[in-house]
């Protein structure tokens, strides 16, 4: 058996614990039930992702993927995201 650690805020942990306890379960038992209900019990039984052969350039794939993104969400993205990727992903100081 493998142990999985998930970091969640204390308030969420308390809510999960209360939810599980109300059903007479530990958090671990409740999560195991959720996983079993969600799909196949073993990763090897899960279907492989449907991967298409796509010969388009990456910028066309990206444009197609983003076509339905709301304009206000795109406008809210940082303008220096590529140059400051370490700042936005890892919290490093901006250079």
**pLDDT, tens digit (0-9, with 9 covering 90-100), for 15-33:** 888 888 888 888 888 888 8
Q: pLDDT confidence of 83, banded at 50, 70, 90?
A: very high
The percentage of the chain sitting over the pLDDT mark of 70, rounded to a whole number, equals 86
Q: In terms of C-beta density within 10 A (0-12 exposed, 13-18 middle, 19 or more buried), how is residue 27 classed? A: middle
> pTM to 2 decimals?
0.38
94 within 8 A of 84, measured Cβ to Cβ? yes
Please state, in angstroms and as integers, the Cα–Cα distance from residue 76 to each residue in 36, 64, 73, 80, following that order: 38, 19, 5, 12
Question: Average pLDDT for residues 30-58, to the nearest whole number?
Answer: 72
Angstrom distance (rounded) from CA 41 to CA 57: 37
pLDDT at 84: 92
Has residue 62 got a pLDDT over 70?
A: yes
């Amino acid at each position: 058996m493998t142990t999985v650690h998930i970091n969640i805020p204390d308030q969420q942990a308390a809510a999960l614990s209360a939810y599980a306890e109300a059903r007479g379960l530990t958090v671990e038992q409740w999560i195991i039930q959720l996983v079993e209900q969600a799909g196949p019990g073993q990763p090897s039984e899960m279907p492989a992702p449907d991967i298409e052969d796509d010969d388009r350039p990456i910028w066309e794939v990206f444009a197609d993927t983003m076509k339905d993104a709301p304009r206000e969400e795109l406008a809210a993205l940082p303008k220096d995201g590529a140059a400051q990727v370490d700042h936005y992903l890892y919290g490093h100081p901006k250079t």
